Structure 1
Amino acid sequence: MPRFAANLSMMYTEHNFLDRFAAAAADGFEAVECLFPYEYDATELRRRLDDHGLRQVLFNAPPGAWESGERGIAALPGREVEVRAGIDRALEYAVALGSPRVHMMAGLVPPDAKPAELAEHRDTYLANLARAADQAAAAGVDILVEPINGRDMPGYFLNRQADAHALVEDVGATNLKVQLDLYHCQIVEGDLSETLRRDLPTGRVGHLQVAGVPDRHEPDRGEVDFRYVLGVVDDLAFDGWIGCEYRPRAGTSEGLGWLNDYQGENA
């Protein structure tokens, strides 16, 4: 049966961040993920995890100047030194928190980028991913890449599942994997069931995420029947985690009926 992790950057925002661990555990979550943990001391975060019996299963490497609009730097030529420093920091946190996965965001490219420029971005991303995967392997950590839809994040370098899998294949590192966010995938290309049946058996998918489409609220309404989709995940015996990366319509706990119902039906 699929295992679910609460995304503490998007869920439980009615609480201060450090109090969200307790709230997630009280609702029955056994694992959490977040965007960026670096505002908080790793020792304090680890204490919160341990105090509430939680596992940290994913977070992102430093994304550059997020507040100024940057959305990753790993595919941006000329930022390699900053990328390396970011991976150093991410792996320090991964080891301290026991997180087996770090997502490495690519970044934004100009809308008028020419093919040669896009090729340079890809080559830069490949080189940074290869270096990061090699470094992360010693710590027992997987590096992830995630296609993100261009409606929510215009200009993001990586949008399609096939392109993400091609990057993973080209690097060839066993600890470089794809983060398949079903919300982004539905917006960009749809066909979720067949995408799962095609890609999960390859072993290249390291993490899943869900949210309702099109509004990114709970996955209990909208254009996708997530009960069916999660049934496909279950049939394929995916043994990773599914991150609940959505914005609750109202209170987080009040909106968990979809998850409680699903787990009750599949107990």
Structure 2
Amino acid sequence: MKLAANLNFLFTEGNKSIAERIRLAHKAGFRAVEMNYPDSELSAVAEATVETGIEIALLTINFGDSKIGTASVPNAEEKFATQLQETINFAKKLKSRLLEAENMLGVIEPISAYAVPKYFNNNFERASSVIIAVNSKHIRLMIDIFHLQHIMGNVTNAFADFKDIIGHIQIAQAPHRHEPDVAGELDFSYVFEVIKSSGYSDWIGCEYKPKTNTLDGLKWIEEYPIVHL
């Protein structure tokens, strides 16, 4: 299983720009990255992806001036549509994936109330019901193992229940969101086997907070032969 660097959490030492983080991730051996919509450095990020040849495994929708977006905000449909179109346009430029009309993939992510209090989409059953109702292969579920553990646990049965609609996976140890090999609630040797058994074979995002620093923290990968950069 292949790993992508989440640039909101990795290579952030020294307050580096997203474009700089892309180059550092590439230098460290990553072939793909995840990132938020880089509103203030669109050209620099596009240049860095071309220069490195790195793949964009996940691009979060443009939040504008909101911290968590407008998808669930009443009467904000037009703003959401504008932000979504801006994200699609940039995703096309980066050759990323998002939504049916552009032959791309969009994912819905449940987020734990422990991480973002009062976040609307804090329930996997709610998210999956929306995906099933929409009934499009271009809308899928994001499973962040960290949030899954906080929201419902039961990792084995969760993957069995949702395997047909999974579009992307992210990892971090619970409860402190560090590397998978740090002491915590989850046995990632088992978790990775569950992911493999579910049939998922796409990128897995490393969305964790390094306990010390990014490069030293990457040594955890050596402990799990089932995953690689």
Q: TM-score, normalised by structure 1?
A: 0.80
8 Å CA contact 1:22, 1:52 repeated in 2 = yes
Q: Once structures 1 and 2 are overlaid, which stretch shifts more, 168-177 or 13-22? A: 13-22
Which residue pairs with 1:94 in the alignment?
91
Are the structure 2 counterparts of residues 25 and 162 from structure 1 closer, same or farther at C-alpha, using a change threshold of 3 Å? same
Match of 1:84 among 59, 70, 81: 81
> How far is the alpha carbon of 1:264 from its aligned partner?
7.3
> How far is the alpha carbon of 1:263 from its aligned partner?
3.4
Alignment of 1:113-262 (within 5 A): 136-200=99-163, 202=164, 204-221=165-182, 222-262=184-224
8 Å CA contact 2:131, 2:140 repeated in 1 = yes
For 2:198 and 2:141, how far apart are their aligned partners in 1? 16
Q: What percentage of aligned pairs have identical amino acids?
A: 30
Report the number of matched residues.
Answer: 226
8 Å CA contact 1:100, 1:142 repeated in 2 = yes
Post-superposition Cα deviations, 1:210-259, rounded to whole Å, max 9, x if no partner, equal 01100011111211011210111122331221111111111101001111
Residue 12 of structure 1 aligns to which amino acid in structure 2?
A: F
Q: Once structures 1 and 2 are overlaid, which stretch shifts more, 210-219 or 15-24? A: 15-24
For 2:196 and 2:138, how far apart are their aligned partners in 1? 23
For 1:62 and 1:264, how far apart are their aligned partners in 2? 33
Residue 188 of structure 1 aligns to which amino acid in structure 2?
A: I
Residue 195 of structure 2 aligns to which amino acid in structure 1?
A: V
> How far is the alpha carbon of 1:162 from its aligned partner?
1.5
Q: Once structures 1 and 2 are overlaid, which stretch shifts more, 50-59 or 148-157? A: 50-59
8 Å CA contact 2:5, 2:33 repeated in 1 = yes
Residue 93 of structure 2 aligns to which amino acid in structure 1?
A: A
Alignment of 1:1-20 (within 5 A): 2-15=1-14, 16-17=16-17, 18-20=19-21
Q: Which runs of 5+ in 2 are unaligned?
A: none
8 Å CA contact 1:37, 1:59 repeated in 2 = no
Which residue pairs with 1:29 in the alignment?
30
For 2:64 and 2:193, how far apart are their aligned partners in 1? 37
> How far is the alpha carbon of 1:64 from its aligned partner?
4.2
CA root-mean-square deviation: 1.8
Residue 52 of structure 1 aligns to which amino acid in structure 2?
A: T
SS of the residue 1:263 aligns to? coil
8 Å CA contact 1:30, 1:55 repeated in 2 = yes
Q: Which has the higher contact order (CA 8 A, sep 6+)?
A: 2
8 Å CA contact 1:181, 1:209 repeated in 2 = yes
Residue 71 of structure 2 aligns to which amino acid in structure 1?
A: A
SS of the residue 1:58 aligns to? strand
| Runs (4+) off by over 6 Å | 264-267
SS of the residue 2:48 aligns to? helix
> How far is the alpha carbon of 1:73 from its aligned partner?
0.9
